[in-house]
């Protein structure tokens, strides 16, 4: 591994990120910073009810309020058909998509957008919202997945019928779909087991908690050209979603991605962007719409609460013989819970011959869920990794040794079908086992240590990169991937490696949808992989063109020009040499500017594995869990910029710690979230965390020229189970409900 | 957010006259760490903010080993814990001032504002209760004094009448062999509102073995912060022991009437009253014993 690394000059180093100075000096421009002459301010009116029929909406008082320039409701949207649109991130029912932007006939969660106002100041817009009269017929809400699945549960959608393996049911239901994956013969597998463990698990609704709320400014030119400046994980998906919702041609929409203050999957779906566009159209003025924190919690997609049941069997010598999972995920108001990814990931760290997995996508009266870092996988892994721990414990086998016995390898088949290419599952377990943390003393009373593994499949999808060569030997790298986690640097470094120039000689720019080729969202841990791949291809094209220029300069055949270490040289006779930099100064004379482009849609994303080790202390009197030490091992394939890989690992682990211990949407009986603020939605602060020790393992991905695997998502998969297992080690109680908050621990310990 | 007026009052009578004129729609602005947020989030409708930070009497911070502490209502937390003599005399109050918000908030927020906001979960109030603080209140009919445990009447409600404002708090000088302690339970380590808060003050005999007197104050377990009178009284004359402390803790639990909300459940809070009362008492006793 180490020797392979030495092939590279730029990859594996830690240059300062290109966007760093702007960010630390406060100069970077975010969506809320955007200003424009004549700008109006928009505000969204949201439903106070979790479930209600809209009887009428009267906007006349709001429209008459001084300073109000326009009000929109669902009536201002084009008639949405019940049809399915493919928006790059999977198929979406257009009626559902539109109704989530502005409710037409029913509101399906507290915070559901109902109307919006544009006014000359944000305060006037806010005030005017209180003057919109909405008459509701309040309906009973259903707020929990198992209740929503019951036959007599209140129905959210009269037309929603369960689809199950190609069949659609006759009667309406809150269960949108049922999926099943089967491998081998589970009954036979369980019959062969010497020990079987089966448990139920419940996880809460949690939010990505990005610091920057959603924002959008829209402007319609007189010629019908719509421009949207916004915070997003994908300018092109905003363009597509807005085009579908407004039934407006994509050629007339330009989306300008501003700097982004966090997304974690939550800034892929659109909410206020089409609303800003509708208000801009109605008023003829640019309109800026900002969310506040309560809007973000109540009106944007969290990741689902879930009910998970896992059963696994193993032989006395520790071989897993069969595994079964039942996954019921809350989709929120409209179908689309990530139960599919949960099913893909749940048993992926193991080589198991007999598996059966059932998954259910269920609507409830909560915000429509959105992706969040490895969506679905953490819910599933909380169950499976706890059961694995219990199997190992009952068999008296070290939990990491148990994972080595059963670890997934190249050639093994996942229950949902795909066969693993070269993966680094075993390697992460070995590294965790060899880490000093795992053998450090930990015998204090009420202290415990836990481990868990996790998997995320990662994705490829489309990316485009253009490279313009500058006369001073630098390059401008144009990309369409919003930079959430240091990808300007990690993409620039791959181009720099090809061209033999320093990372600092690359000027990366994330540009609007008119200025670069189609690029899918920053999501699925794909950006350093796929956009990096496109940058590699673009740089290869630049290299070939530069070779042609050197050949022209020296009047030799292109085949006689070599490029190595940033130097072009001629072979076969003529002794010529020129650096990349010097050749850049001669582009004018040798045929004009050099531009390279790369476009990809690579299939070999290569799955990522992680194994985490955590020490906790439990306060037996208060139920509070303190995380004392945390080591997160992960296969990065190839760490392009190790600091940002470590940053991703640490960030994922920390979000997992929050999910494990305190984060959850707390609802009252009416379906109102009672903790819609960062005060009471308790994400961990730096004072709640130890240093997260990130350990990078490198098992190169054969599907990428430099071996890159996506790193952003898998680190959130193991923490919940790792902490639950550590709590068990500390106090001998298996916690099966998330979050493992102090009151739940007190209950489990029988103190209250 | 609606428009509102702002006045920087220069004297107590000026502030009182404005309060008397505007009634409920006028609010005193000191640090603003509660008020400004409430107005911005439309949780409080205010026509007039009366800034009192220029009034000398509300900025007094005066400690005298015999006379005790006069603490102006607008004195910021950071000024309190910057005075060593105050830290030595009233460590329980200082505990609270150091955990209200972060450093930036402590530069603005004060004990007086914490008291007037009258949150059941206010961290400063249990220490004020256990330290026998008295509120000095100015109003249209002159000044009056009120024991701090009578100041809060309901969540967000105080004993202040129309036109009245809190000018300062007076805390008696600590007796010898006495100390105080405050702690709260929060699920995180910072940036949270108390699920339960408990303060204790104790005076021991010269041998530091017997409790001469004690006071226990609780937060977030009733509509107002509570003085646990019975629990306090039963410690008087008792030898320091786990049994005595457990008894007091149980008596404190008996007066808790908490609700379940997003910050904690009623059962959890009642349980925590016991845990935190024990820890507060033991903390105060330890402080007495640690002092030469």
Q: How confident is the model at residue B292, as a pLDDT? A: 74
- Say whether pLDDT at A619 is over 80: yes
The tens digit of pLDDT for each residue in A576-604 reads: 999 999 999 999 999 999 999 999 999 99
Interface touch A661/B187, C-beta < 8 Å? yes
Tell me the residue range of the domain where B14 lies: 5-51
- How much of chain A is in helix, strand and coil states, percent to nearest 5? 30, 25, 45
A120 vs B contacts (CB less than 8 Å): none
Task: Find the helix or strand (DSSP H, E) in which B268 lies.
Answer: helix B266-290
Per-chain mean pLDDT for chain A: 96
Name B279's Cβ contacts closer than 8 Å, sequence gap at least 6.
Answer: B181, B183, B198
Give, in words, the CATH class of A306-458+606-748.
Answer: alpha beta
DSSP state for residue B174 in the 8-state scheme: P
Judge residue A642's burial from the number of C-beta atoms within 10 Å of its C-beta, 0-12 exposed, 13-18 middle, 19 or more buried.
Answer: middle
Task: Pick the residue from chain B with its C-alpha nearest to A739.
Answer: B187
The list of chain B residues with pLDDT below 70 reads: none
Task: Find the helix or strand (DSSP H, E) in which A52 lies.
Answer: strand A52-58
Interface touch A123/B1, C-beta < 8 Å? yes
Measured between alpha carbons, how far is A173 from A108 in angstroms, rounded to an integer?
15
Lookup result for tokens 């949407």: A665
Angstrom CA distances, A260 to A229, A233, A669, A716, stand at: 11, 8, 35, 21
Q: Which of B169, B200, B174, B186 is nearest to B284 (CA)?
A: B200
Per-position b or e across A124-153, b if 16+ CB within 10 A of its CB: bbbbbbebbebebeebebbbbbeebbeeeb
Of A622, A679, A687, the CB nearest to B272: A622
| Coil/strand/helix, residue A28 | coil
- Regarding whether B184 and B145 lie in a shared domain, the answer is no
DSSP state for residue B210 in the 8-state scheme: B
Residue ranges of chain B whose CB lies within 8 Å of a chain A CB: 1-3, 42, 185, 187-193, 195, 261-265, 267-268, 270-272, 275
Of A127, A622, A688, the CB nearest to B185: A622
Of B189, B192, B271, the CB nearest to A752: B271
- List the CATH number of the domain containing B167: 3.30.465.10
Interface touch A680/B267, C-beta < 8 Å? no
The tens digit of pLDDT for each residue in A265-322 reads: 999 999 999 999 999 999 999 999 999 999 999 999 999 999 999 999 999 999 999 9
pLDDT confidence bin for A443, thresholds 50/70/90:
confident
Q: How confident is the model at residue A276, as a pLDDT? A: 98
pLDDT confidence bin for A84, thresholds 50/70/90:
low
Q: Record the pTM.
A: 0.97
Q: How confident is the model at residue A633, as a pLDDT? A: 98
Measured between alpha carbons, how far is A341 from A369 in angstroms, rounded to an integer?
14
Name A577's Cβ contacts closer than 8 Å, sequence gap at least 6.
Answer: A567, A568, A569, A570
**Domain edge (last residue) among B136, B171, B206:** B171
Residue ranges of chain A whose CB lies within 8 Å of a chain B CB: 123, 126-127, 621-624, 661-662, 666, 674-675, 679-680, 682, 684-685, 687-688, 741-743, 746, 751-752
Q: How confident is the model at residue A82, as a pLDDT? A: 60
pLDDT confidence bin for A620, thresholds 50/70/90:
very high
* HSE-up of residue B4 (Cα within 13 Å, Cβ side): 23
pLDDT confidence bin for A7, thresholds 50/70/90:
confident
Q: How confident is the model at residue B1, as a pLDDT? A: 77
Q: Residue A316 CA to chain centroid, in angstroms? A: 39
A621 vs B contacts (CB less than 8 Å): 275
- Regarding whether B149 and B78 lie in a shared domain, the answer is yes
Task: Pick the residue from chain A with its C-alpha nearest to B102.
Answer: A687
Kindly state the average pLDDT of the residues A384-390: 98
- Regarding whether B263 and B211 lie in a shared domain, the answer is yes
Torsion angle in degrees (nearest 10) through CA of A527, A532, A537, A543: 150
- Regarding whether B185 and B146 lie in a shared domain, the answer is no
Q: Are B7 and B51 in contact (CB under 8 A)?
A: yes
Interface touch A688/B188, C-beta < 8 Å? yes
C-alpha dihedral sign at B257, B263, B268, B274: negative
- List the CATH number of the domain containing B25: 3.30.43
Kindly state the average pLDDT of the residues A336-359: 98
Task: Find the helix or strand (DSSP H, E) in which A217 lies.
Answer: strand A215-220
Kindly state the average pLDDT of the residues A65-86: 86
Beta-bridge partner residues of A396: none
| Six token digits for residue A134 | 């909405």
Interface touch A746/B261, C-beta < 8 Å? no
Q: Are B180 and B90 in contact (CB under 8 A)?
A: yes
- List the CATH number of the domain containing B187: 3.30.390.50
- Regarding whether B167 and B60 lie in a shared domain, the answer is yes
The tens digit of pLDDT for each residue in A174-200 reads: 999 999 999 999 999 999 999 999 999
Q: Which residue out of A621, A737, A738 would a mutagenesis test of the B interface target, given it has the greatest number of B Cβ atoms within 10 Å?
A: A621
Interface touch A622/B275, C-beta < 8 Å? yes
| Six token digits for residue B245 | 């402390």
Fold for the domain defined by A2-28+460-600: Aldehyde Oxidoreductase; domain 4 (3.30.365)
Name B160's Cβ contacts closer than 8 Å, sequence gap at least 6.
Answer: B116, B137, B139, B166
Of B190, B262, B271, the CB nearest to A680: B262
- Gyration radius from chain B CA atoms: 19
C-alpha dihedral sign at A370, A374, A377, A382: negative
B2 vs A contacts (CB less than 8 Å): 123, 127
Beta-bridge partner residues of B201: B180, B215
Classify strands A175-183 and A161-164 as parallel, antiparallel or unpaired.
parallel
- Angle, alpha carbons A301-A302-A308 (nearest 5°): 130
CATH placement of domain A35-139+227-261+267-286? 3.90.1170.50
- Regarding whether B43 and B94 lie in a shared domain, the answer is no
Q: According to CATH, where is 3.30.365.10 located in chain A?
A: 2-28+460-600, 306-458+606-748
A624 vs B contacts (CB less than 8 Å): 185, 187
Q: How confident is the model at residue A3, as a pLDDT? A: 40
- Regarding whether B189 and B165 lie in a shared domain, the answer is no
Q: How confident is the model at residue A435, as a pLDDT? A: 98
- Regarding whether B107 and B66 lie in a shared domain, the answer is yes
Of A674, A679, A752, the CB nearest to B268: A752
Task: Pick the residue from chain A with its C-alpha nearest to B275.
Answer: A621
Of B42, B192, B268, the CB nearest to A746: B268
Of A675, A687, A746, the CB nearest to B189: A687
- Regarding whether B218 and B132 lie in a shared domain, the answer is no
Angstrom CA distances, A474 to A492, A592, B171, stand at: 11, 16, 70
Kindly state the average pLDDT of the residues A479-485: 96
Region class of B176: left (phi > 0), else alpha (psi between -120 and 50), else beta: beta
The tens digit of pLDDT for each residue in A236-264 reads: 999 999 999 999 999 999 999 999 999 99
- Regarding whether B115 and B100 lie in a shared domain, the answer is yes
Q: According to CATH, where is 3.90.1170.50 located in chain A?
A: 35-139+227-261+267-286
* HSE-up of residue A124 (Cα within 13 Å, Cβ side): 17
The tens digit of pLDDT for each residue in B235-287 reads: 999 999 999 999 999 999 999 999 999 999 999 999 999 999 999 999 999 99
Kindly state the average pLDDT of the residues A115-141: 97
**Domain edge (last residue) among B139, B171, B203:** B171
Q: How confident is the model at residue A81, as a pLDDT? A: 65
Q: How confident is the model at residue A90, as a pLDDT? A: 52
A85 compared with B151, residue with greater pLDDT: B151
Interface touch A741/B187, C-beta < 8 Å? yes
B187 vs A contacts (CB less than 8 Å): 624, 661-662, 682, 741-742
Measured between alpha carbons, how far is B164 from A121 in angstroms, rounded to an integer?
36
Interface touch A688/B264, C-beta < 8 Å? no
Q: At what angle do helices A399-406 and A377-394 cross, to 10 degrees?
A: 110
Q: How far is B27 from chain A (nearest CA, A)?
A: 21
Total domain count for chain B? 3
B162 compared with A86, residue with greater pLDDT: B162
pLDDT confidence bin for A357, thresholds 50/70/90:
very high
**Domain edge (last residue) among B36, B51, B66:** B51
């Amino acid at each position: 591994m180490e020797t392979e690394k030495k092939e590279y000059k730029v990859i594996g180093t830690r240059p300062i990120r290109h966007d760093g100075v702007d960010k630390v000096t406060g100069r970077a421009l975010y969506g809320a910073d955007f200003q424009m002459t004549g700008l109006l301010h928009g505000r969204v009116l949201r439903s106070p009810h979790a479930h209600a029929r809209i009887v009428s909406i009267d906007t006349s008082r709001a429209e008459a309020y001084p300073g109000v320039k326009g009000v929109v409701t669902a009536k201002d949207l084009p008639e949405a058909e019940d049809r399915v649109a493919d928006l790059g991130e999977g198929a979406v029912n257009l009626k559902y998509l539109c109704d989530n932007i502005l409710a037409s006939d029913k509101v399906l969660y507290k915070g559901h957008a109902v109307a919006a106002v544009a006014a000359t100041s944000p305060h006037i817009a806010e005030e005017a919202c209180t003057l919109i009269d909405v008459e509701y017929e309040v309906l009973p809400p259903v707020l929990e997945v198992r209740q929503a699945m019951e036959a007599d549960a209140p129905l959210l959608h009269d037309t929603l019928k369960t689809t199950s393996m190609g069949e659609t049911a006759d009667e309406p239901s809150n269960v949108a779909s049922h999926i099943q994956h089967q491998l081998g013969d589970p009954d036979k597998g369980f019959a062969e087991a010497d020990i079987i463990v089966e448990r139920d698990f419940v996880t809460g609704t949690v939010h990505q908690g990005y610091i920057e709320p959603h924002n959008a400014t829209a402007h319609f030119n007189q010629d019908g050209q719509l421009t949207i400046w916004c915070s997003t994980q994908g300018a092109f998906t905003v363009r597509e979603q807005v085009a579908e919702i407004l039934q407006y041609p994509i050629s007339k929409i330009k989306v300008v991605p501003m700097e982004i203050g966090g997304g974690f999957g939550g800034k892929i779906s659109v909410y206020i962007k089409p609303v800003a566009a509708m208000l801009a159209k109605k008023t003829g003025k640019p309109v800026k719409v900002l969310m506040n924190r309560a809007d973000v919690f109540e009106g944007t997609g969290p990741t689902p609460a879930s009910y998970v049941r896992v059963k696994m069997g193993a032989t006395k010598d520790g071989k897993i013989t069969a595994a079964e999972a039942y996954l019921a995920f809350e989709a929120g108001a409209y179908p689309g819970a990530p139960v599919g990814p949960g099913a893909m990931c749940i048993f992926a760290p193991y080589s198991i011959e007999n598996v059966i997995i059932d998954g259910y996508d269920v609507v409830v009266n909560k915000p429509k869920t959105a992706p969040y870092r490895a969506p679905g996988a953490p819910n599933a892994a909380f169950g499976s990794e706890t059961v694995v721990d219990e199997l190992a414990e009952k068999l008296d086998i070290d939990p990491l040794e148990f994972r080595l016995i059963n670890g997934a390898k190249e050639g093994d088949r996942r229950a949902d079908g795909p066969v693993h290419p070269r993966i680094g599952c075993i390697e992460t377990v070995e590294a965790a086992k060899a880490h000093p943390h795992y053998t450090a003393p930990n015998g204090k009373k009420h202290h415990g240590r836990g481990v868990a593994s996790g998997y995320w499949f990662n994705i490829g999808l489309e990316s485009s990169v253009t490279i313009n060569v500058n006369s001073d030997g630098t390059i401008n790298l144009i990309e369409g991937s919003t930079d959430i986690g240091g990808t300007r640097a990690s993409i620039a470094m791959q181009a720099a490696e090809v061209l033999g120039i320093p990372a600092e000689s690359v000027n990366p720019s994330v540009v609007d949808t008119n200025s670069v080729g189609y690029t899918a969202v920053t999501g699925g841990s794909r950006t350093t992989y796929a956009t990096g791949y496109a940058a590699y291809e673009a740089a290869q094209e630049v290299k070939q063109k530069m070779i042609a220029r050197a050949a022209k300069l020296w009047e030799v055949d292109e085949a006689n020009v070599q490029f190595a270490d940033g130097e072009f040289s001629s072979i076969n006779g003529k002794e010529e040499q020129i650096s990349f930099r010097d050749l850049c100064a001669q582009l004018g004379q040798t045929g004009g500017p050099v531009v390279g482009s790369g476009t990809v849609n690579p299939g070999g994303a290569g799955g990522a594995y992680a194994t985490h080790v955590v020490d906790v202390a439990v306060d037996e009197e208060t139920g509070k869990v303190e995380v004392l030490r945390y080591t997160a091992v992960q296969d990065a394939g190839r760490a392009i910029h190790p600091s940002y890989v470590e940053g991703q690992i640490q960030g994922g682990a920390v979000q997992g710690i929050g999910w494990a211990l305190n984060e959850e949407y707390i609802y009252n009986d009416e379906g109102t979230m009672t903790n819609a603020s960062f005060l009471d939605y308790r994400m961990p602060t730096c004072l709640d965390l130890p240093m997260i020790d990130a350990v990078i393992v490198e098992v190169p991905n054969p599907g990428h020229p430099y071996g890159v695997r996506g790193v952003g998502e898998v680190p959130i998969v193991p923490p919940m189970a790792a902490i639950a297992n550590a709590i068990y080690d500390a106090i001998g109680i298996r916690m099966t409900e998330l979050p493992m908050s102090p009151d739940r621990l007190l209950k489990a310990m029988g103190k209250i | 957010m609606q428009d509102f007026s702002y006045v920087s009052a220069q004297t107590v009578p000026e502030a009182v006259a404005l309060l008397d004129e505007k009634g409920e729609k006028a609010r005193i602005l000191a640090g603003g760490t509660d008020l400004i947020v409430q107005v911005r989030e439309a949780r409080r409708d205010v026509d007039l903010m009366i800034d009192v930070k220029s009034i000398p009497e509300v900025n007094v911070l005066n400690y005298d080993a015999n006379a005790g502490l006069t603490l102006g209502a607008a004195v910021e937390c950071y000024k309190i814990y910057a005075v060593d003599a105050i830290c030595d005399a009233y460590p329980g109050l200082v505990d609270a001032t150091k955990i209200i918000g972060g450093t930036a908030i402590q530069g603005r927020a004060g004990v007086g504002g914490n008291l007037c906001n009258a949150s059941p979960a206010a961290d400063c109030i249990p220490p004020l209760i256990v330290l026998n603080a008295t509120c000095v209140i100015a109003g249209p009919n002159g000044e009056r004094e009120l024991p701090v445990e009578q100041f809060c009447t309901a969540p967000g409600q105080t004993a202040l009448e129309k036109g009245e404002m809190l000018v300062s708090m007076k805390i008696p000088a600590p007796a010898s062999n006495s100390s105080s302690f405050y702690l709260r339970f929060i699920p995180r380590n910072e940036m949270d509102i108390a699920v339960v808060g408990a303060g204790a003050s104790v005076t021991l005999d010269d041998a530091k073995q017997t409790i001469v007197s004690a006071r226990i104050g609780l937060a977030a377990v009733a509509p107002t912060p509570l003085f646990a009178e019975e629990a306090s009284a039963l410690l008087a004359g008792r030898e320091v022991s786990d049994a005595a402390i457990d008894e007091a803790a149980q008596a404190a639990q008996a007066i808790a009437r908490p609700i379940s909300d997003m910050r904690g459940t009623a059962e959890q809070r009642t349980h925590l009253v016991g845990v935190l009362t024990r820890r507060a008492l033991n903390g105060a006793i330890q402080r007495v014993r640690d002092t030469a």
